[in-house]
Amino acid sequence: MTEALVLATVALPLLGAAALAATRTPRAAVRVHLAASCATAAAATALALTALLGTAATPHGGWFVADPAAGVFLLVVAAVGFASASVLAATPPAAPPGLLRTRGSAIAFQLFWAALLAVPLAASLAVAWLLVEATTAASALLVASSGRRGALEAGWKYLVLTTLGLTVALLGVVVLFALLGHGTGTVHTLDWSAIRAQAPALDGTAAIVAAALVLAGLAAKVGWAPVHNWLPDAHSEAPPPVSALLSAALLPAVVLVAWRLAAALAPSGAGGTLTALLLAFGLASLAVAVPFLWRPMPLKRLLAYSSLEHMGVLALGIAFATPLAIAGVVLHVAGHALAKSLGFYATIPLLRRDPAFARRPPTALAATSPAAAGAVAVSLATLGGLPPAPLFFSELLILAGGIAAGKLAIVVIAAALLALGFLGLAHAAIEALAAERPSVALRAGGRSPRLVALTAATAVALLALSASALALPGSQLVARLVEGLA
């Protein structure tokens, strides 16, 4: 049963892309896109729940892994992907080209989503690397889909920098394969379980070099500072649904690969180095993001720098590796995905009414677009960690987990940076909602019932996550994650 769900989860979006290529009219393309997205989301959700409940069969030496970590991240990728696919299908025909109305863009979207869904399920470091690389081509096309000069430049920068980073990671993978295989490696030498089994016997220096290369290469794809240069441009230039998928699904999925690597090599001499690197990437990302969160900038660019901040928080939580910190990581991944996606979706009606909104900080939204104002308020309040947002509790859990891990100095620095980030986002929210004059030519527009419904559903889901914060640290899910990833 589990194998069938895994196959369906990955194959359905690929079949959807093939079916889209055979369509002849825009209406048929939309119907095929929606049908494929619904089927994919259903299969992925079923698989994620099976993994979370601990009933998934994960064969030893198999080609997939369906542990609780895979369930958490797969559920996030499925939810964000389905929401973005639905938003694309509902976009009016008169929308700007950047909002994806072409069949080719829909095909690229399905291919990108298929690769993203497969990443959490990869049972091998080598397969995970291939899948992360596979996400690059389709997503680069989506980033540049509007054809604007800025979008083309952002897509090219994203393609070059992330490919360069993954090339560095590939070198580390090769070194690790040589260490583990002793010249006679097989296709399963780089399975996560095989790496963990042989980790205690690995040569210290060589293992450290391999681990550092892989993690540094993955950092370029996650967007951890200081290798984050592609992230602000790509997130701000991509169509909003693609920006949501990049920020809320792609970045956390690659973080999971880094987490599996750190867990697998923890018993080796490289374990301490990986922890130190994760802490360094986490603090650097927070420190780099904060000054930008204080600057007036377009909403999508602001959300992009917020992604840099929150990926840094996840790096810290994974490095602390205590039950409290791991509970915070789970809560943070889910809360960030919901809030960040809503923030990007809120820009769609605003961009449709005035494309100049993409280049200027938002102001006076409460007067000019109440629906967008509500969505922006929920998104920025959550991302800033304003109680009772789930990110407030997740950050609190991660910081408490850091104290339990004996990293008090790191916790103090991170808490100060998070407080500064909160102030920056709070100021941006106030300016966006309550400023007297609009920054662009936005007249009071029509209603956006879909955005209102999406905002309400997201707010309810966020409150439900907040309510789970107290039960999560002692849950069976967190206990299984602390015991180790598959």
Does 100 score more than 70 pLDDT? no
Q: Quick check: 474 pLDDT over 60?
A: yes
Q: What is the pLDDT of residue 484?
A: 74
pLDDT value, residue 407: 96
- What's the whole-model pTM score? 0.94
| pLDDT tens readout for residues 417-466 | 999 999 999 999 998 888 666 655 555 555 678 889 999 999 999 999 99
Domain ranges within the chain, ordered by starting residue: 270-486
Helix (H, G, I), strand (E, B) or coil at 425: helix
> What's at 49, amino acid-wise?
L
For 258-279, write each residue's pLDDT tens digit: 999 999 999 988 999 999 999 9
Say how far apart CA 448 and CA 153 lie, in whole Å.
32
| Model pLDDT, residue 25 | 82
Neighbours of 93 (CB within 10 A): 8
Peptide bond into 226 cis (omega under 30): yes
Q: How far apart are CA 314 and CA 298, in angstroms?
A: 25
- pLDDT tens readout for residues 276-297: 999 999 999 999 999 999 999 9
| Percent residues over pLDDT 70 in the chain | 93
- To the nearest whole number, what is the mean pLDDT of the chain? 89
pLDDT at 301 over 90: yes
Give, in degrees to the nearest 5, the angle at Cα 260 between 256 and 264.
170
Identify the pLDDT of residue 183: 64
**Predicted local distance difference test score (pLDDT) of residue 445:** 52
pLDDT at position 258: 97
* Range scoring the smallest mean pLDDT among 66-70, 124-128, 442-446: 442-446
Range of lowest pLDDT (57-66, 182-191, 419-428, 449-458) = 57-66
**Residue 101 or residue 257, greater confidence:** 257
Between the CA atoms of 484, 226, 155 and 221, what dihedral angle is there, to the nearest 10 degrees?
-10
Residue 322 predicted with pLDDT over 50: yes
Per the DSSP assignment, residues forming a β-bridge with 122 are 64
Q: How many CB atoms lie within 10 A of CB 44?
A: 29
Question: What is residue 191's three-state secondary structure?
Answer: strand
Q: Residue 177 above 50 pLDDT?
A: yes
> Of 3, 34, 37, 33, whose CA–CA distance to 21 is shortest?
33
List, as one string, the DSSP characters of 125-151. Answer: HHHHHHHHHHHHHHHHHHHTTT--HHH
61 pLDDT more than 70: no
For residue 59, the model assigns a pLDDT of 53
- The pLDDT score that the predictor gives to residue 440 is 55
Q: What mean pLDDT do residues 74-83 have?
A: 96
Q: Is the separation of the CB atoms in 389 and 370 below 8 Å?
A: no
Q: What does the pLDDT read at residue 97?
A: 45
